[in-house]
Amino acid sequence: MLGYYTHMAEPVKIAKRTRRAQKAQATHDRIVEAARHLFLQRGYVQTTIDAIAEAADVAVETVYARFRNKTNLMIAVKHATVTEDGHTPLEDRPELASLAAERDPRRRVQIAAELSRAMLERIAPVYALLHDAAASDEALRAQQAAEIARRRRFQRILVELIGADGALRADLTLDQAADTYSALGNPEVYLLLTQHHRWTPARYQAWLADSLERLLLREP
């Protein structure tokens, strides 16, 4: 009988651990979302841990226990934004499969431009926050540099897929093509065009696709 009760107790323990983990993740996500909202609304420097805790409806001690400081909160906000709250790592983007399957190089450029526009529309405001916060925080400067490098690596993957079957210009290396993509598809350019020049995201996407086609692809 003892063995029976021990066997029956295991699923109960697992269920309790699962509920605790889910509750902890929900608290984490709530704090990060509150931080993201307040950082965007008030700015990084002006936002306090106390305000984030109040917005997330948790104790200040809970925020410190999970993140220790505002720098780590900014990093968590950046990570959640880039990965869509952890659900879509860059290497698992479904658009990459579409790019790999597409045979028309110009259609591949259009798919890549649409993907970049969607990502920039989501991350550019948070990237601007990170840029401003990095001016006075060495750890965030390192995060900013890592984010630039991460985006460049991803764009090189896009260029490799765009240039499949010898579609790239003969005078371009993959790295040169990736640098060109990086210059056009970055948050600073996106914010310049959509905020200061009042372009719509759709206009930016069309411009990016046209520019990439002209600068990267062989003549048909």
54 and 97: one domain? no
Q: Let me know if residue 82 belongs to a domain.
A: no
| Burial of 13 (C-beta count, 10 Å sphere; 0-12/13-18/19+) | exposed
Closest by Cα among 100, 98, 150 to 123: 150
Cβ-based neighbours of 107, under 8 Å, separated by 6 or more: none
Q: Let me know if residue 76 belongs to a domain.
A: no
Q: What is the pLDDT of residue 9?
A: 58
Q: What domain range includes position 49?
A: 2-68
Q: Let me know if residue 138 belongs to a domain.
A: yes
Which residues in the chain show pLDDT less than 70?
1-17, 85-90
User: How far is 187 from 94, CA to CA, in rounded Å?
Assistant: 22
Q: How many domains does the chain have?
A: 2
62 and 128: one domain? no
Q: What is the pLDDT of residue 1?
A: 58
6 and 57: one domain? yes
The domain boundary residue, chosen from 11, 33, 68: 68
102 and 160: one domain? yes
Residue 39 · residue 47 · CB < 8 Å: yes
Q: What is the pLDDT of residue 154?
A: 94
C-alpha distance from residue 210 to each of 113, 197, 202 (Å): 9, 18, 12
64 and 119: one domain? no
61 and 100: one domain? no
Q: Let me know if residue 81 belongs to a domain.
A: no
127 and 46: one domain? no
pTM: 0.82
As a whole number of Å, the end-to-end CA separation of the chain is: 78
Q: What is the CATH number of the domain that holds 60?
A: 1.10.10.60
Other CB atoms within 10 A of residue 21 CB? 10
62 and 17: one domain? yes
- Two tokens, residue 196: 């200061």
Cβ-based neighbours of 115, under 8 Å, separated by 6 or more: 93, 95, 158
Q: What is the pLDDT of residue 87?
A: 60
Q: Let me know if residue 175 belongs to a domain.
A: yes
37 and 104: one domain? no
Q: Let me know if residue 39 belongs to a domain.
A: yes
